[in-house]
Structure 1
Amino acid sequence: MVAQSLSSLLQQASIDDHEEVIQSCNDVLAKSKNDLTAQHIKVIALLKLDRYEDALRALEAGGDALKKQAGFEHGYVLYKLGKLEEALETVARATPSRGASHLEAQASYRAEQFRRAADIYEKLAQQDSSHEANDLSINSWATDAQLQWKGESDYVRHERPSREDLESFETSYNAACLNIAKGQLRQGEVLLNRAKNICQTAEDLSVEEKAAELLPISVQYLYVLMQQGKTEEAEALLNEIAVDDISELSTKKIAKNNIVLAQQSALNPFILYKALHDTPDAKDNDRLFDFQSNILTGNSHAVDLLVQKYDGMIRSTAKGLAKSSYPAGDAKTNLLSVYNAAAHAQGQEGQRALKKILPLLERRPKDLGLLLTVVQLYVNSGNTTSAITAIERSLHILEESISEADQEARFNPGLLSVLVSLYQREGRKLQIRSTLAQAASYWRNKPEPPSSLLRAAATSLLHSENPSDLNIAGDLFRSLYQQDSNDRVAIAGYIASKATSDYSQIESQLNDLPAVDELIADIDIAALESAGILPSASSAAAAAAAFAGARKRSAVNKDGRSAKRVRKSRLPKDYNPDKKPDPERWLPLRDRSSYRPKGKKGKQRAAERTQGGPVSEKTEESMPQQKPGGGGGGGNNAKKNKKKGKR
């Protein structure tokens, strides 16, 4: 009876008749409620109708037996509902198949486990997949773009698109996103234009499908134009973006944000605040990626500051920070700390802002976002020493902790790169070397050590004269070479670290280094010889001094004496080198021969001051009389005339 019913059910099934399939399944389940086949078919029909909540309820009602038999469908339902971790666990238990691998890769992608997704797509591409080559290429490029946005550029597999990649607008679009993530905006703009043109001329797409595909391309194009400062082109593109026609909430929110910012010249802060909060948040499987969410959250908080919602921001950011633990290495938590500090500063800068923020750092010394805010304020005011002191104080507190999370934050590569940069500004070479050596000794035994930090530490230790430092540098370069056998920097560093201590150990690896002829193949030796050798700083200074001296010796006047050079800053504004200067210019005005006093009194005073002229009795009487013994600076008169004061 059940078999006949199922046969009838399958005969009725068609791609446009899923409701009747569900009704037939319900009829079978009314007679045999534990019929796994009917339950399974019902779940598939619900998925065809995009009724994911109903499909999950049907799976829960069927129990473990149905979940085991319909493992792929169960994982797909969880994926569509945004329960990504559960979906990955479920698909891992499902029967291995190519479809299950695609689902695992897609769920990993949405869960931002991009390395896992990239590995799966690479394995699928290595298998016989000629019919899926285009889809795998599209997804692989998208995964690499996300890896670049997340800062994991070491795992990016694609460099530049091939000719086949440029024949598809989806691949061209994803390749453009990868270039944009790398900061190569001009190349990204070229690829976006290509994707747009291919989509517009595609013959297998309807007008509605073309419009739907062009919307995200235009939104991304708008971002690129804004980043390059092409305001007029960005404003012209706004007419092509119909935000209300975008079905995905995540894309709609990004589009709304970019459009509002492109029009910000015509908006006041309060209108901008209202516009940025106009689009609802995406959820489930349509939510934003972390890097997108962080940017939009930052924009929202920045507008809060513009409209002076300081108290509200302090409360909201403090609520978010209360759910996190310190120290936190994720961008989301640290951005909350930065905006919390900005709200406390209330628009002030420099020392006034530090006066309000430093007490917060005293209470939360492990808050890395707050620490970096304080460091930035110190650096902006030119106080590098205080910035170093602030970082060293927090690092010391982390170092004394026994928590593994605190130790990992203590040697966080990003935080240490800030400290090393500050050390470089003050020329503290020993501190740089010791900081990088400590970080390398911590990370070298970890499962996934940061290669950039290990390379920087090994390179720094190469400049040390201590044999133990050279041994550590050699070990670090060797571990880097084991991770990537094509890393020429690691090979050269390892050889350099061992060449002076144990040449026989690295003699066999000299052939791995590129030949000298290969390195200088593109160098024009004749041009270098004709250009000469650039002198060092000391020799250049000596040459400049000698040249300056030669010029001074050659500059003589008619009498054979050296002409004194006068700085331009000491010359008057109306100075004319062709005009002969007045020889009496150093005398007071009344003592010059050209002085002519005005009025009777002026002429009389001038005549009385004339040297060698007649002296009248009146003039003689008016002259002060000097008393004997007055050569000592005033004599007794100075004592008599001196006023008494408080002692």
Structure 2
Amino acid sequence: MAAGTVQSLAALLQRATIDDHEEVLKSCNAALKKSKTDIHAQHVKAVALLKLDRYEDCLRVIEEGGDALKQRASLEYAYALYKVGKLSEALDVAAKLCTGRGARHVEAQAAYRAEDFLRTADIYNDLYSDKASIGNEENDLRINSWATDAQLQWKGQTHAARNKRPTREDLESFEITYNAACGSLARGELSQGELLLNRAKELCKTSEDLTPEEKDAELLPIAVQQLYVLIRQGKLEEAEDLMKEISLSEISELSTRKIAQNNIILAKPPTNPYLLYKAFHETPSATNNDKLFDFQNNALVANSYAANLLVQKYDGVIRSTRKALAQRPCPSVLPSDNVLSVYNAAAHAQDQTGHKGLKEVLPLLERRPKDVGLVLTVVQLYVAAGNATSAIITLENFLRSLEESIAEQDQDIRFNPGLLSALIALYKLEGRKTQIRFELAKAAGHWRQRPNPPAMLLRAAGASLLHSSDPSDLAMSAELFTNLHNQDPNDQYAAAGYVASHAETDLAKAEALLEKLPSVEDLVSEIDVAALEEAGIPQSAASVAATAAVLAGARKRPAAEKQGAAKKRVRKSRLPKDYDPNKTPDPERWLPLRDRSTYRPKGKKGKQRAAERTQGGIVHEKAEEAAAAAPATQQQKAQGGGGGASSKKKKKGKR
């Protein structure tokens, strides 16, 4: 290294202070004018640019410095990539080039923004387990671990979350309390989430570690989340009061501002759809490292298309969704893909539902038969129209086409738990218990050959197969519950299924586990039997109507108890003129005159016809031959004769 470079670097470091990064940057630029390849000056310049939040400039400096600078400033390189939103590259650099706990933190942050929450949770768990090196990171690790677990639950990966119920120590930090509240909301526990958010707000207000400006910045996201909870609970009056605390202009993060604006519109939507459309699109979309997570973005995309449909932008929605769908895989079970299909169908239907909506949507299904979102939309329209059979046929045809495919991805989608749940729900509407058991057995057979099978689906399959009389079904149920119990010995549902499935085949195994199950007395200890008996058995509308009909019938007097049969009253207009109520009517009055027993024909021809109709009378052969020939003659006339004979009658006259 040249002596001048060493002296300039020494002068640079002497002038560097924590609040004077601009001066450091000027000194770096002066040193680099003398020697463009001064790797020490380049490194310090990259750090100064990071301190000034100039992440793109920092990234450019490191990339221009070549591989040597990337290796030397690998941590800064990974962090700059993370901040500009190049998450996959940041993960790659942090995992391969960086070493130490700082690199692991950057890798965890990049994985978190990339929504690889399982990887994030593993990294934080490893960092937390190293007690010797944890230093003053413990509180930050706990906060980030709770945030990761909340995201896992929003993502539907609840089984991987390590923290679900906060301890007393956790509730002393407003950050952890807020993250715990988000986890409760992800599980659908709105009341619990509301309580935790209120506590987080109070802890933030009374915190001695934050300045008033920092408190205001931290309270805004909490208020936005509270607004979401109040809307979900239908507490719109409280939501309007809370809206006064939220100032959109003071929210620095575009993603949080976008969510806040959406919740405010939902809490008090404008009556004019065009004003609603304008308000929804006032905040621009977030970019780089401030982007929304998938579950947030899906909701906002759906609301955006809904606002477009309210102002009748049908053609625009059709074009944009069609263009986006052309770039997505098909079939796909991702919500971000299927929401496009739903609004594409809605735009084609133009606010029409029922049979009119189906008439517009069914041609789309013929062109895109493997579009999951479109198939479910058609199924929903059929169900709304009360046609569950057609809904079942549509879904069965779709699943059959996937089952016939040779692509492994199509097979996984065929037995997707969500699609299977929809089919089973439709089967339940029509009471098809055999089909339910058959579908669950097929799905269990498929997922047993895959790593990390969905436990809830295997539970449902095992419970359904327990009701079968087929020995093979019972054997599969026993195998499913055995695997579930081995994976999680503390799972009471799996343990109960294990006992039930082995009770008839291997009683010793069932008895060994039976003692670990809670007793019946413990399960019903908190049930008030007297209150249940007093309340009675709840009945459906059909059963209530049937019971009322039975009771009404019981109050009627049977025919035997009546003193006399009520005579039917006949109106005078229907009686003949010579009607005499004292005379008994002729019982044969409804028969033709010649069929009555009192009929006597008059004259020679009449007596002859009466004799011919008499059983055992004289048979005339010529009469029979004439009768047999009559149908043939009539048939020939009906056919119009044969050959080219004329149908005109000949005039009478001399030949």
Does 2:182 correspond to 1:177? yes
In the superposition, relative to structure 1, how do residues 524 and 329 fare at CA in structure 2: closer, same or farther (>3 Å)?
A: closer
Shift of 1:136: 2.0
Q: Distance in 2 between matches of 1:145 and 1:400?
A: 38
Does 2:400 correspond to 1:396? yes
Give CA-to-partner distance per residue, 1:545-593, whole Å, 9 cap, x none.
9x9799769x99xxx96799xxxxxxxxxxxxxxxxxx99979799xxx
Whether the 8 Å contact between 2:276 and 2:307 is mirrored in structure 1 is yes
Shift of 1:215: 1.2
Q: Distance in 1 between matches of 2:464 and 2:496?
A: 14
Partner secondary structure for residue 87 of structure 1? helix
TM-score (norm 2): 0.80
Q: Distance in 2 between matches of 1:532 and 1:224?
A: 33
State the match for 2:256 in structure 1. Answer: 251
| One of 68, 72, 90 as aligned partner of 1:87 | 90
Q: Distance in 2 between matches of 1:222 and 1:251?
A: 13
Q: Distance in 2 between matches of 1:51 and 1:563?
A: 104
Shift of 1:515: 5.4
State the match for 2:115 in structure 1. Answer: 112
Shift of 1:382: 1.2
The residue type equivalent to 1:224 in the other structure is: V
State the match for 1:166 in structure 2. Answer: 171
Does 2:230 correspond to 1:206? no
Give CA-to-partner distance per residue, 1:139-177, whole Å, 9 cap, x none.
222212211211222222223222222222222222221
In the superposition, relative to structure 1, how do residues 634 and 410 fare at CA in structure 2: closer, same or farther (>3 Å)?
A: same
| One of 65, 68, 71 as aligned partner of 1:65 | 68
Shift of 1:488: 2.4
Does 2:467 correspond to 1:428? no
Give CA-to-partner distance per residue, 1:243-292, whole Å, 9 cap, x none.
0111101011111112222221x430111111111111100000111111
Question: CA RMSD of the aligned region, Å?
Answer: 3.6
State the match for 1:126 in structure 2. Answer: 129
State the match for 1:300 in structure 2. Answer: 304
State the match for 1:381 in structure 2. Answer: 385
Does 2:355 correspond to 1:351? yes
Shift of 1:346: 0.9
The residue type equivalent to 1:28 in the other structure is: A
Whether the 8 Å contact between 2:500 and 2:510 is mirrored in structure 1 is no
The residue type equivalent to 1:259 in the other structure is: I
State the match for 1:227 in structure 2. Answer: 232
Shift of 1:508: 4.5
Shift of 1:459: 1.3
In the superposition, relative to structure 1, how do residues 431 and 65 fare at CA in structure 2: closer, same or farther (>3 Å)?
A: same
Please list, as runs of the form range in 1=range in 2, the aligned pairs for 1:206-605 lying within 5 A after superposition: 206-264=211-269, 266-504=270-508, 508-514=512-518, 519=523
Q: Distance in 1 between matches of 2:69 and 2:303?
A: 46
In the superposition, relative to structure 1, how do residues 166 and 508 fare at CA in structure 2: closer, same or farther (>3 Å)?
A: closer
The residue type equivalent to 2:272 in the other structure is: N
Q: Distance in 2 between matches of 1:368 and 1:172?
A: 38
Whether the 8 Å contact between 2:164 and 2:183 is mirrored in structure 1 is no
State which drifts further: 456-465 or 514-523.
514-523
Q: Distance in 1 between matches of 2:152 and 2:291?
A: 18
Partner secondary structure for residue 16 of structure 1? coil
Q: Distance in 2 between matches of 1:423 and 1:451?
A: 22
Shift of 1:25: 2.6
Shift of 1:533: 12
Does 2:6 correspond to 1:3? yes
Partner secondary structure for residue 65 of structure 2? helix
Q: Distance in 1 between matches of 2:106 and 2:428?
A: 48
Partner secondary structure for residue 159 of structure 1? coil
Q: Which of the pair has more CA radius of gyration? A: 2
State the match for 1:39 in structure 2. Answer: 42
Give CA-to-partner distance per residue, 1:450-503, whole Å, 9 cap, x none.
111111111111212222212222222222223222122223323332332234
The residue type equivalent to 2:37 in the other structure is: N
Shift of 1:22: 2.3
In the superposition, relative to structure 1, how do residues 503 and 232 fare at CA in structure 2: closer, same or farther (>3 Å)?
A: closer
In the superposition, relative to structure 1, how do residues 548 and 276 fare at CA in structure 2: closer, same or farther (>3 Å)?
A: closer
The residue type equivalent to 1:325 in the other structure is: P
Shift of 1:6: 2.6
Whether the 8 Å contact between 1:71 and 1:93 is mirrored in structure 2 is no
In the superposition, relative to structure 1, how do residues 64 and 631 fare at CA in structure 2: closer, same or farther (>3 Å)?
A: closer
Count of matched residue positions in the alignment of Structure 1 and Structure 2: 575
Shift of 1:344: 0.7
* Structure 1 runs not aligned, ≥5 long: 565-582, 591-607, 613-628, 636-647
Q: Distance in 2 between matches of 1:561 and 1:60?
A: 105
Identity of aligned residues (%): 57
Q: Distance in 2 between matches of 1:17 and 1:536?
A: 76
The residue type equivalent to 2:143 in the other structure is: I
Whether the 8 Å contact between 1:327 and 1:406 is mirrored in structure 2 is yes
Whether the 8 Å contact between 1:22 and 1:46 is mirrored in structure 2 is yes
Whether the 8 Å contact between 2:342 and 2:377 is mirrored in structure 1 is yes
The residue type equivalent to 2:394 in the other structure is: A
Give CA-to-partner distance per residue, 1:152-207, whole Å, 9 cap, x none.
22222223222222222222222221222222222222222222222222233222
Give CA-to-partner distance per residue, 1:21-78, whole Å, 9 cap, x none.
2233334334443333322222111101111111111111111121122111111001
The residue type equivalent to 1:314 in the other structure is: I
| One of 148, 151, 156 as aligned partner of 1:143 | 148
In the superposition, relative to structure 1, how do residues 49 and 529 fare at CA in structure 2: closer, same or farther (>3 Å)?
A: closer
Q: Distance in 2 between matches of 1:221 and 1:534?
A: 39
Shift of 1:435: 0.7
Q: Distance in 1 between matches of 2:370 and 2:298?
A: 21
TM-score (norm 1): 0.81
Q: Distance in 2 between matches of 1:551 and 1:315?
A: 65
Give CA-to-partner distance per residue, 1:300-351, whole Å, 9 cap, x none.
1111111111111111110110101210110011010000001111111101
Does 2:18 correspond to 1:15? yes
* Structure 2 runs not aligned, ≥5 long: 582-587, 595-655
Shift of 1:380: 0.9
